Homo-oligomer: A and B are copies of this chain.
C-alpha cells in the first residue's frame, strides 16, 4: 500500500489526533466514542449542525467543523458508518438549546444510525431535525442505498446551512433550507482509478489505465457504466449533461417530526434544472487528482453551462469530498437564489473551507 499510515486499525484515530494537534483551540477531538466538535460548542441559542459518515472522504466531514459550518462531525472507520453512540454524544456536546440538525448522506448505515441517535436524543429532550442528502443523479438504487446516494451537495448544504444557523435561523428554518438545498443539487462522478481501504490492503476494484467508471459513488461503488477513457472535455460534457438533463426525481423520505416524536414519510421532488437558473458549480477531486486537471474540467463545464443558458454564479474547485487516493472527479450543480448566494458568501472558518472574517 502506497500510504502514509501506521497500523491500518489506527489510521482514523491518528489522523484525527493530527487534526486535533494542528487545529488546537478551534476543534476538539473526542475518542470513545469518536467525534469532532467546535472548541466553543455548545454555542448557546444557535441551532447546531451535525454530520458524519465513513472516513476516507477528508476534509469531509471533520474538516468542516467550525464557525459557519458544522458544530460536530462523527467519523466512522474508513468507508464505514459511524455508530449511534458517537452521534448521541456529539448531539449532547453541541446542543446549545436551539436544537440539532443532522445532515445525513443517504447511505443505509448512516441513515439507520442517525435515526437511532435522533430518537435517543429526543428521549433526552433535545430537539432534532434530520435531513437526508440524496443528490447523486447516477443511480436510482445502489449497493449501499435505497434511492439515490448522498454526494457533493452535502458539502454545499453544510456550508449554506452552517451560515444560516450562525445567523440565528430556527431549527425548522435551517431544516427547511437544508431540504431545499438538497432538492436543488445534483451530482455525477467519474473514477479513473480505484482506491485502497487500509484494512483491506488491495484496491476496491480494478480499472485498467484506459478505462473509466462513469457514475461512481464516493466509496468506489460501481456507477452507471464502465467505458473507455475519454478526453477531459468529453468527460466534463458527459457529467454536465447527465446532471442538466436529469428529469424530475420524486422520492418518499423519512423525516423526524419533533412535535409528534416520530418519523413521518414525506414526498419530496427535485425539479429539473431550467434555462436561466443561477448555479453553484462544484468540481470536486476524489483525492488523487491534481488541481490543474480539475480546472481543465471546469473550463468545459463553464462552456457547457453557458451555452445551455445557465449562469454559474459561484464555484468551488478542489478536493473536498474524496475517496482516499482515488483518481477521479465529480461535478455538483446547485440551483442558487439570493438567499443561498448570501449564505454561501458568509464567513466560514474550518480546517477544510475558510474564507471571510
Contacts and interface: CB of A to CB of B under 8 A. Distances in A.
Interface stretch (A16-24, A81-89, A92-100, A338-346): A16-24
B5 A231 contact: yes
Contacts of A12: 292
A293 B15 contact: yes
Interface residues of A, number: 58
A229 B3 CA distance: 9
Nearest to A317: B22
Contacts of A3: 192, 232, 293, 327
Contact of A355 (B15, B59, B355): B355
A332 interface: no
A354 interface: yes
A118 to B, nearest CB: 27
B299 A21 contact: yes
Given A11-B296, A15-B299, 12 more contacts: A4-B232, A4-B296, A5-B296, A14-B296, A15-B292, A15-B295, A15-B296, A55-B292, A63-B291, A287-B290, A290-B325, A354-B354
Interface of A: 1-6, 11-12, 14-19, 21-22, 55-56, 58-59, 63, 192-193, 209, 229, 231-233, 235-236, 287-299, 302, 315, 317, 319, 322, 324-325, 327, 329, 351-352, 354-357
B290 A6 contact: no
Given A22-B302, A295-B22, A233 B59 contact: no
21 contacts: A2-B229, A3-B327, A4-B236, A4-B296, A5-B293, A6-B231, A6-B233, A14-B295, A14-B296, A15-B293, A18-B298, A22-B302, A22-B317, A56-B290, A58-B291, A287-B290, A288-B288, A288-B290, A288-B325, A289-B325, A317-B351
